[in-house]
Amino acid sequence: FLPMRFAVNALALAWPVVLTIGLVAASSWRGWLTAALIYFLLFAAVSAVGMARSETLTWDQPIRLWLLTNLPGTFLILAFLPRQIRAVGPMVLVFMIAAVGGSTLWHNVFEVSPRLMLPVVDFFGSLGFSDMQAVSAATYAFQLFGALMLALIGWMFLRGVGNLYRLRWISDQSVIVDSLWFLFALTSAIDFAFFGLLWFLAPLAAFAIYKIMSVLGFAILRQRPGGTASDPTLLLLRVFSLGKRSALLFNAFGKLWCHGGSMRLIAGPDLATSTVEPHEFLDFLSGKLARRFISGPQALTQRLAETEPRRDFDGRYRVADFFCHDDTWRMVLGRLARESDAVL
């Protein structure tokens, strides 16, 4: 029975593999459903074999195991990694985790050293608050302090992600996939925390091993670290008013094209959240997005130099979006058309 129990647990923990396949390979919801159907059929078959070989394993145990293991992480994935906000979802999630972590920081303060709270309670008491009001005010103050502190750490983390992206040490796809696996590692760590510190650290250590192995794997398998003359550059043109249909086309076509060539497009509202890069999102948050707009030929030349067609560490090309003013988009379009190998 031990091998079957191991197989059931391994399959329950393998659910993020299905989500990863959907993010990386599936171009439509049919691909997602196909991968999920194959997974659940395999999980049901292994669970059935386990129940046939053991009198203690009941039909509800594999179901409860799967729900406890995967339901929290799946809800977070559905909330922050849908196609419409997939490019910025992981970065928004950092602030959400910071807010939740900061709001619960006061619990640890109470448990570790209640004396740290007493001066704050006394301060609010000196302002005329009653005892209950002073405790509540001190609690809210520590919640706010914790949220701000962790938000600052989250902002520094995002700046680091932006710098790594500029250096091409990470890609847009690796940010999304790593966020997925880190979410499930974090939810598992929370579940294991009741068994001790080492159990809490085990899923996080597993994530670190996954990241090391993925980087080493891409380094070994990558045969062409840079672009070659045979790798084409595509200019994607579309009507902005197509909206959702533009996003569906970009999602399906881009997954295939970016493995063989680079893609350029003029930024528009239809693909704004699908093509935004980490450093562009940070510029938006800091109010510096205006510097990304093409104001003339010199700015276009600089932007073209920044988006030189080269493969990322995972072998994929990037999508270069060009923000244009109303009086510069024709100039940008003309030059991009002349310097592209193909136009769609």
Distances (CA, A) of 343 to 171, 250, 263, 332: 24, 14, 10, 14
The residue type found at 208 is A
Do residue 320 and residue 262 come from a single domain? yes
Q: Is the pTM of this model over 0.85?
A: no
Assigned token pair, 142: 């520590």
More confident residue, 109 or 62: 62
- DSSP structural state of residue 263: E
Q: How far apart are CA 93 and CA 97, in angstroms?
A: 6
Do residue 172 and residue 277 come from a single domain? no
For residue 124, being part of any structural domain is answered with no
Do residue 318 and residue 217 come from a single domain? no
Phi, psi of 265 (to 5 degrees): -160, 155
The residue type found at 297 is P
Q: Looking only at Cα atoms, what is the longest distance across the chain? A: 76
Using the 3D structure, point to which of 194, 221, 248 is the last residue of a domain: 221
Report residue 222 CA to chain centroid gap.
23
Do residue 153 and residue 6 come from a single domain? yes
Flag whether pLDDT at 229 surpasses 60.
no
More confident residue, 287 or 219: 219
The residue type found at 50 is G
pLDDT at 182: 85
Q: How far apart are CA 50 and CA 137, in angstroms?
A: 54
For residue 270, being part of any structural domain is answered with yes
Instruction: Spell out the SS3 assignment of 308-326.
Output: CCCCCCCCCCCEEEEEECC
pLDDT tens digits for 49-66? 888 887 777 888 899 999
For residue 196, being part of any structural domain is answered with yes
pLDDT band, very low/low/confident/very high, at 318 (cuts 50, 70, 90): confident
Q: How far apart are CA 128 and CA 126, in angstroms?
A: 5
Q: Domain range spanning residue 185? A: 2-96+148-221
Per the CB < 8 A criterion, the answer to whether 35 and 26 are in contact is yes
pLDDT at 37: 94
Beta pairing partners, 197: none
pLDDT tens digits for 196-219? 778 888 988 999 999 999 888 888
Per the CB < 8 A criterion, the answer to whether 187 and 68 are in contact is no
Which residues in the chain belong to E strands, given as ranges?
233-236, 262-266, 293-294, 319-324, 342-343
Do residue 169 and residue 240 come from a single domain? no
pLDDT at 157: 77
pLDDT at 5: 81
For residue 179, being part of any structural domain is answered with yes
More confident residue, 118 or 103: 118
| Range of lowest pLDDT (49-58, 108-117, 213-222, 241-250) | 108-117
For residue 120, being part of any structural domain is answered with no
Using the 3D structure, point to which of 221, 252, 283 is the last residue of a domain: 221
For residue 14, being part of any structural domain is answered with yes
Report residue 59 CA to chain centroid gap.
34
Share of the chain above pLDDT 70, in %: 81
Average pLDDT, the chain: 81
Do residue 180 and residue 302 come from a single domain? no
For residue 200, being part of any structural domain is answered with yes
pLDDT at 26: 76
Do residue 261 and residue 159 come from a single domain? no
Distances (CA, A) of 277 to 36, 166, 234, 235, 298: 29, 10, 18, 18, 22
Number of domains in the chain: 2
Quick one: average pLDDT of 4-8?
A: 85
Using the 3D structure, point to which of 176, 195, 221 is the last residue of a domain: 221
pLDDT tens digits for 12-58? 999 999 999 888 887 677 888 899 999 999 999 999 988 888 777 78
Flag whether pLDDT at 235 surpasses 90.
yes
pLDDT at 58: 84
Do residue 252 and residue 197 come from a single domain? no
| Range of lowest pLDDT (121-130, 173-182, 221-230, 334-343) | 221-230
Do residue 80 and residue 192 come from a single domain? yes
More confident residue, 287 or 121: 121
Do residue 241 and residue 176 come from a single domain? no
For residue 65, being part of any structural domain is answered with yes
Do residue 47 and residue 159 come from a single domain? yes
Do residue 325 and residue 207 come from a single domain? no
